[in-house]
């Protein structure tokens, strides 16, 4: 009797254990795949000098002439400064209450963004930081991402760092988010099976129809930028979303984790580039 | 259930017919005539094939230069290579795992008929045809 019971138990337990072990290995394998750093090996098809030559040949002095006529995004700077001095929220404060008149003490702050933030256990972008200050320090409402006021304030405060080199750190707990961003940048996605990297690394300098594909070297140093095609000033993440749409891929909402990680990866790879906002693009 | 048990007598012929029909639809039919005019339109329209985003094709303003010039490339293909040309468009990863060229068939960007049309159009570029 006792023997039979054990036998039944064995029959039941062994397969269940086997399934459990298999499942454990399965999830481990999947987790490794997700966090794994295996990305496609891609390298630029031409030197950066050759790329710049093609860029100049292609655009000629079009961008210089555009700049001469003035950047419409400059109008946002004044409004951004006003917003930095404006008292809002339940605590009767403005940005200037903590960061000096015209928030001048924030000179250089933008060079360290995006950065890892322990409280949100993820990447804090510059627009998010501004909203975090509004909510926590001022008791004010967050500004809707990509709204005029959010862009104006971000642009103004970032402009205080103009001419300073980007200095993003990926040390310590930031590292996995950098790796995730890199993975997302190389991930084939969408109906067209493209990745950011295949265009902006391997095929930078080639023409997709009449668009010269840009090398990603200066991708993050000039946002928010005015873009002729938009007829508006917009953020780096708006540009990401545009490329994702062209790829016929899923387009995440602003400040979604994937977009923040990509922004973190890309900005780090632009370390040393001088911040120059607002930019102006076709 | 074992299918073989059922395949007897008249049934057998029916099965054979059905199976060959199925096969016919599964295989990329190399001889199937495509519509050249449609093919040209598909190849040059942004929302369809948009081949000109990457390839040179005649009579297009500023085609891209990511991929090879298709007039030159087609010179290397003879009438018997239709299946290979089709495969390039259906899924170029068969030739180059890391290609930038989209898998037009595999990802259902174009239908089999549309791909046939494009191939027929490409063959009109082929001087050796």
A245 vs B: CB within 8 A:
no
**Is residue A196 a part of any domain in this protein?**
yes
In this complex, the residue of B63, B98, B100 whose CB is nearest that of residue A209 is B63
3-state DSSP assignment of residue A88:
strand
Name the residue of chain B whose CA is nearest to A211's CA: B64
- Domain, as residue range, for A96: 46-282
Residue A230 three-state SS: coil
Tokens of B16: 């054979």
Please confirm, yes or no, whether A199 is among the known catalytic residues: no
Chain B residues with CB under 8 Å of A202 CB are: 100
DSSP A252: P
How many domains is chain A built from? 1
Interface confidence: ipTM more than 0.90: no
pLDDT band, residue B126 (cuts 50/70/90):
confident
- C-alpha dihedral sign at B37, B39, B45, B51: negative
8 Å CB contact between A277 and A162: yes
**Cis peptide bond N-terminal to A278, omega within 30:** yes
Q: Does some domain include residue A252? A: yes
Chain B interface residues facing chain A, Cβ-Cβ under 8 Å?
50, 52-54, 61-66, 98, 100, 102-103, 107-109
Position B1 pLDDT exceeds 70: no
Determine whether A34 is exposed, middle or buried from the number of CB atoms within 10 Å of its CB (0-12, 13-18, 19+). Answer: exposed
Please give the structure tokens belonging to residue A253.
Answer: 């909402």
Topology annotation, domain B31-125: Cytochrome Bc1 Complex; Chain D, domain 2 (1.10.760)
Q: Determine, yes or no, domain membership for A17.
A: no
In a domain, A153, yes or no: yes
Average pLDDT of A204-212? Answer: 95
Condensed to tens digits (0 to 9), the pLDDT of residues A112-121 reads: 999 999 999 9
CB pairs under 8 A between A and B: 40
Q: Judge whether A110 lies within some domain.
A: yes
A237 neighbors A259 (Cβ within 8 angstroms): yes
DSSP annotation of A141 = P
Question: Is it the case that residue B83 has pLDDT exceeding 70?
Answer: yes
In sequence order, the 6+-apart residues with CB closer than 8 A to the CB of A185 are A195, A196, A197, A262, A265, A266
Q: Which residues of A touch B66 (CB under 8 A)?
A: 203, 206-208
CATH number of the domain encompassing residue A250: 1.10.760.10
In a domain, A2, yes or no: no
Q: What is the mean pLDDT of chain B?
A: 84
The answer on pLDDT for A150 being more than 70 is yes
B107 CB neighbours in chain A (<8 A) are 191-193
Contact A250, A244 (CB under 8 A): yes
Q: Which residue has the higher pLDDT, A205 or A4?
A: A205
Beta-carbon separation of A40 and B98 below 8 A:
yes
Contacts of A194 in chain B (CB under 8 A): 100, 102
CA distance B66 to chain A (A): 6
Give percent of chain B above pLDDT 90: 71
| β-strands A122-124, A115-117 pairing | antiparallel
The DSSP symbol for A14 reads: H
Cis peptide before A224 (omega within 30 of 0): yes
- Token readout for A271 is 């370390």
């Amino acid at each position: 009797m006792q023997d039979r019971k054990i036998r039944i138990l064995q029959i039941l337990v062994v397969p269940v254990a086997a399934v459990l072990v298999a499942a454990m290995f399965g999830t481990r394998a999947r987790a490794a795949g997700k966090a794994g750093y295996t990305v496609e090996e891609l390298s630029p098809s031409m030197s950066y000098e050759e790329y710049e030559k093609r860029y100049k040949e292609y655009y000629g002095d079009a961008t210089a002439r555009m700049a001469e006529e003035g950047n419409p995004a400059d109008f946002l700077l004044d409004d951004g400064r006003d917003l930095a001095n404006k008292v809002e929220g339940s605590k009767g404060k403005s940005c200037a209450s903590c960061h000096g008149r015209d928030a001048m003490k924030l000179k250089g702050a933008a060079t360290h963004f995006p950065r890892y933030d322990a409280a949100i256990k993820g990447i804090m972008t510059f627009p998010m930081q501004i909203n975090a200050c509004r909510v926590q320090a001022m008791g004010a409402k967050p500004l809707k991402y990509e709204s005029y006021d959010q862009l104006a304030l971000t642009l103004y405060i970032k402009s205080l760092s103009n001419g300073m080199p980007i200095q993003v750190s990926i040390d310590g707990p930031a590292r996995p988010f950098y790796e995730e961003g890199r993975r997302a940048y190389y991930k084939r996605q969408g109906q067209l099976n493209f990745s950011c990297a295949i265009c902006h690394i391997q095929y930078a300098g080639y023409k997709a129809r009449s668009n010269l594909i840009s090398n990603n070297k200066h991708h993050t140093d000039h946002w928010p930028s005015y873009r002729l095609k938009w007829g508006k000033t917009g953020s780096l993440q708006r540009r990401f979303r545009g490329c994702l749409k062209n790829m016929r891929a899923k387009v995440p909402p602003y400040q979604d984790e994937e977009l923040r990680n990509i922004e973190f990866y890309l900005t780090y790879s632009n370390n040393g580039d001088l911040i120059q906002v607002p930019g102006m693009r076709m | 259930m074992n299918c073989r048990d059922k395949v007897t007598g008249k049934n057998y012929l029916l099965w054979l017919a059905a199976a060959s029909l199925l096969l016919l639809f599964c295989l990329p039919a190399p001889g199937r005539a495509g519509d050249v005019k449609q093919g040209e339109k598909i190849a040059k329209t942004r929302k369809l094939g948009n081949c000109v985003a990457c390839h040179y094709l005649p009579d297009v303003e500023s085609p891209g230069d990511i991929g090879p010039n298709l007039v030159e490339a087609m010179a290397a293909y003879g009438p018997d290579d239709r299946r290979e040309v089709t495969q390039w468009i259906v899924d170029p990863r068969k030739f180059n795992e890391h290609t930038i060229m989209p898998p037009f068939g595999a990802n259902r960007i174009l239908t089999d008929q549309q791909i046939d049309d494009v191939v027929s159009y490409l063959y009109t570029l082929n001087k050796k045809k």
